[in-house]
Amino acid sequence: KVLTPGRLPPPASVALFIPGVMVTAAANAEAPREAGKDMLTGKAVRLNWHCLSIFVAINHACVTTPLIYSTTLLDKQVGYYGSALLYVSTCLGSLFLSIPLVMKLGQRNALFLAMALYSVYVGLFALATVLGKGDVGQWVVFLAASCIGGAAASLLWTSQGGYMGRSVTALIDATQCDMQTATSKHASAFAVYYLMFEVAFKLLSSVALQVDLRPWIIFAACFVCGVGSALGALTLRDYGLAPGAVRPSTCAKLVAALGLWRDPALWCLSPTNLAFGFSAAFMNGYVNATYTKVQLGEEYVGYFATATALLAAVFSKLFGTAAVRLGRKGPFVLIGSLCFVAIPVIVLAFGLDGWGGFLIVPYILQGCGRAVYESTNKGVFVDFFPGAAADGAFANQMVQSTLSFTLAFFFSAALPRSALAGIILALAASTFPGLLLAHEVRRRQQNQREAEEAAVGSDI
């Protein structure tokens, strides 16, 4: 029987074969635990996941709000270098910091620490806004905040991905649903909350700045909300190890995460992460500055960015529901890739000069593509890397997406429009073929593993 994503046996018995690395999601190592109960109910698992989604969404919205104002409320150079440092520290943290901390603290406590550090980033940003533009104090405060924020981001998304894997396991055990259904529902619910709170915080901050409320007051309020959401994370269920289970060493887990680099499936799935990063940077940098701001005014940059997030939330819900009914995620990965392809094609083939209100079109496409990245893509990663492999898989996913943001951030200042559009086009066009290739890789790996097991059995 071929083991393929979407046709997996119960996660308690999943064994993931990777050349040179064997990661086993054994029942005695991955089973969710609740004090005094042998089994969680499906309702309890779903409620806990919705609470996590809300807490993380509020916390992240508090961070993204000051991030978009870093080059306008602070000195431009301070904002530029601070943002670059944020991306670099996120990438490095995903490789070397997040896995050891998650293994030391566990997913829930690591989530709390990440959200607390995110709140520190917001608090330091509020402080930086009251310091003189370009002063040494502003440089020190914001660069320190960026390092802390990068570490927080790497830890947050690694622990959130690992927690999602534990929660999916618990839901399957409680309801006997299949892997595709569980991952689709989890990813869709998280993306909707995540994007809706982002929209709400961006709108509220824009209105507050328009009525001349002092920036430090706005971001101090974000700091309070961030701390509150971080404390809320402590109320989440702790999916620890089952009684008598032995937690693998931090070094072993880190080696396993880096060992995933040997798995071709990881790289086959990477175009979605890379395409989103480059496309988002292209929209935020080139399209905003060259077309939207010039033709419609600076306020429409914020309006269209909010529309992108709002549409992404709507599409995330639609795609998640449809994926459950179809039992497949592939068609929606294809839709997302076509949207990312369409953006550079429109810019290169038609240009956007004189489009006026029709400039909303590329933002709609970006919203649809982002929905796939934020929801469907996370479900695909859990399908391919279930159980014990989830922590390392999501750490690697964070490295890929952050690396694309970092490269696009620097390329935007050095490369012409056609080169950036060409990169996006190539990455987006390879997304769906990459998914198909990843399925084929898994099929061959499973066949190889079964052949080796049969050979061992015949020797005995």
Highest mean pLDDT among 17-21, 185-189, 330-334, 376-380: 330-334
- pLDDT of residue 232 exceeding 90, the answer is yes
- In angstroms, the CA 23 to CA 386 distance is 10
pTM of the model: 0.73
The answer to whether 210 touches 223, Cβ cutoff 8 Å, is no
Map 37-63 to HEC letters.
Answer: ECCCCHHHHHHHHHHHHHHHHHHHHHH
168 in Cβ contact with 186 (< 8 Å): yes
Mark whether 58 and 135 lie in a shared domain.
Answer: yes
Least confident of 127-136, 163-172, 294-303: 294-303
Best-predicted range by mean pLDDT among 108-117, 154-163, 286-295, 398-407? 108-117
What percent of the chain is predicted at pLDDT more than 90?
31
**Rounded mean pLDDT of 64-93?**
80
Tell me how far apart the 2 most distant CA atoms of the chain are, in Å: 79
pLDDT, position 374 = 84
Q: Give CA–CA dist 409/402, Å, rounded.
A: 10
Task: Quickly state the pLDDT bin for 251 (edges 50, 70, 90).
Answer: low
Amino acid at 177: C
Q: What is the pLDDT of residues 196-214, one digit of tens each?
A: 898 888 888 878 877 878 8
Which residue did the predictor score with more confidence, 243 or 342? 342
Kindly state the average pLDDT of the residues 211-227: 89
Looking at residue 143, what is its pLDDT?
93
Domain-located, residue 46: yes
Q: Is residue 378 part of a domain?
A: yes
- Identify whether residues 368 and 267 lie together within a single domain: yes
Confidence of residue 16 (pLDDT cuts 50, 70, 90): very low
Q: Is 190 a domain residue?
A: yes
Does residue 161 surpass a pLDDT of 50? Answer: yes
- 303 against 47, higher pLDDT: 47
d(CA 11, CA 4): 13
In a domain, 11, yes or no: no
Residue 31 lies inside a defined structural domain of this protein: no
Residue with tokens 């701390």: 227
Residue 261 has pLDDT above 90, yes or no: no
Q: What's phi and psi for 25, nearest 5 deg?
A: -90, 70
Lowest pLDDT segment from 41-45, 48-52, 91-95, 160-164: 91-95
The enclosing H or E element of 25 equals strand 21-26
Which range has the worst mean pLDDT, 62-66, 189-193, 395-399, 456-460?
Answer: 456-460
Banded model confidence at residue 54, pLDDT cuts 50, 70, 90: very high
Residue 286's CATH number: 1.20.1250.20
Region of residue 246 (left: phi > 0; alpha: psi -120 to 50; beta: else):
beta
Q: Last residue of a domain, which of 240, 255, 285? A: 240
Q: Which residue has the higher pLDDT, 95 or 322?
A: 322
What is the tally of structural domains in the chain? 2
Q: How far lies 404's CA from each of 222, 281, 343, in Å?
A: 27, 9, 17
Grade residue 30 by pLDDT with cuts at 50, 70 and 90: very low
State what percent of residues in the chain have pLDDT above 70.
85
**Tokens 């500055």, residue located:** 289
In angstroms, the Cα distances linking 310 to 98, 269, 303, 450 are 30, 26, 10, 46
Q: What is the DSSP letter of 359?
A: G
Mean pLDDT of 364-376: 90
- The reply to whether 30 falls in a domain is no
Residues 84 and 217 in one domain: yes
Give pLDDT tens digits for 133-149. Answer: 888 999 999 999 999 99
Residue range(s) defining the domain that contains residue 428: 263-387+401-459
| Confidence at 119, pLDDT banded by 50, 70, 90 | very high
**pLDDT class for 6, splitting at 50, 70, 90?**
very low
Same domain, 167 and 268: no
- Find the range with the poorest average confidence among 210-219, 250-259, 436-445: 250-259
Average pLDDT of 395-408? 81
Q: Are residues 166 and 280 in the same domain?
A: no
The answer on 168 and 282 residing in a single domain is no
Q: Could you report the per-residue pLDDT of 278-294, keeping only the tens digit for each?
A: 898 888 777 887 888 88
Q: Per-residue DSSP letters for 152-214? A: HHHHHHHHHHHHHHHHHHHHHHHH---HHHHHHHHHHHHHHHHHHHHHHHHHHHHHHHHTT--
- Establish if 342 belongs to a structural domain: yes
Whether 289 and 329 map to the same domain: the answer is yes
Q: Quick one: average pLDDT of 147-153?
A: 93
Residue 67 has pLDDT above 50, yes or no: yes
Same domain, 235 and 269: no
Specify the pLDDT at position 211: 80
Whether residues 290 and 177 fall in one domain:
no
Are residues 211 and 77 part of one domain?
A: yes
| Beta strands at 21-26 and 13-18: parallel, antiparallel or unpaired | antiparallel
Query: What pLDDT is attached to residue 118?
Result: 95
- Residue that is last in its domain, among 178, 207, 240: 240
Q: In the structure, what pLDDT confidence band is assigned to residue 360 with cuts at 50, 70 and 90?
A: very high
Residue 26 host element (H or E): strand 21-26
Domain endpoint, select from 205, 240, 275: 240
On whether residue 276 sits in a domain, the answer given is yes
More confidently predicted of 388 and 43: 43
312 lies in the same domain as 407? yes
Most confident of 85-89, 274-278, 362-366: 362-366
Mean pLDDT confidence for 107-132: 93
Q: What is the DSSP string of 216-268?
A: HHHHHHHHHHHHHHHHHHTTS----PPTT--PPPHHHHHHHHHHGGG-HHHHH
Residues 147 and 224 in one domain: yes
Q: Which pLDDT does position 19 carry in this prediction? A: 37
Residue 17, classed as helix, strand or coil, is strand
Per-residue CA distances from 281 to 125, 148, 194, 249 (Å):
22, 22, 20, 38
DSSP assigned state of 399:
H
Query: For 21, what's the count of Cα atoms within 13 Å in the CB-facing half-sphere?
Result: 20
Instruction: Say yes or no to pLDDT of 333 above 50.
Output: yes
Of residues 245 and 346, the one with the higher pLDDT is: 346
Q: Give the tokens for residue 158.
A: 């690694």
